[in-house]
């Protein structure tokens, strides 16, 4: 059962601040990556390069593009978590409507499923959410 809109708890306010801070950090990283890419291309365009240099530049460009994609996916998950916070449904499993443990949310603040539902979801061939969050554990003690 979804929770109706409610007064945000202290934990919700902390989580909102954290998610907004992460969103800002990622947006800044995207800007810096794009800016660095433009500067790199300007340098490459101004210099003569051999095949090895071109190959290395292509590989670097692919890595930067993959990083931008990951940042974009993370931004989408952050925005969705902020929407769930606003609606009062953050922390409720989308599959079984059970409350997602605070410990799980501390590790993955935009989790949409409890652990057992996420394992079932992954077993069906869906990729896991980005699970490289650190810092958030301190929000939930």
Where are the chain's structural domains? 10-139
Q: What's the pLDDT tens digit per position in 86-129?
A: 998 899 999 999 999 988 988 888 899 999 999 999 888 877 66
CATH says 10-139 is which class?
Answer: mainly alpha
- Across the range 8-14, mean pLDDT stands at 82
pLDDT at position 137 is 38
Give the contacts of 84 (CB within 8 A, at least 6 positions apart). 90, 91, 92, 112
For residue 39, pLDDT over 50 is answered with: yes
Q: How far apart are CA 26 and CA 75, in angstroms?
A: 7
């Amino acid at each position: 059962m979804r929770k109706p809109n409610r007064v945000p708890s202290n934990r919700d306010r902390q989580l909102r601040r954290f998610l907004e801070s992460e969103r800002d950090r990622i947006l800044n990283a995207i800007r810096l990556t794009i800016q660095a890419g433009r500067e790199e291309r300007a340098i490459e365009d101004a210099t003569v390069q051999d095949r090895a240099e071109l190959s290395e530049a292509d590989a670097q460009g692919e890595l930067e593009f993959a990083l931008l994609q990951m940042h974009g996916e993370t931004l989408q998950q952050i925005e969705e978590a902020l929407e769930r916070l606003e609606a009062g449904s953050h922390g409720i499993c989308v599959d079984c409507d059970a409350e997602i443990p605070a410990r799980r949310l501390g590790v993955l603040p935009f989790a949409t499923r409890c652990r057992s539902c996420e394992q079932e979801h992954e077993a069906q061939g869906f990729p896991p959410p980005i699970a490289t969050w650190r810092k958030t554990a301190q929000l939930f003690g």
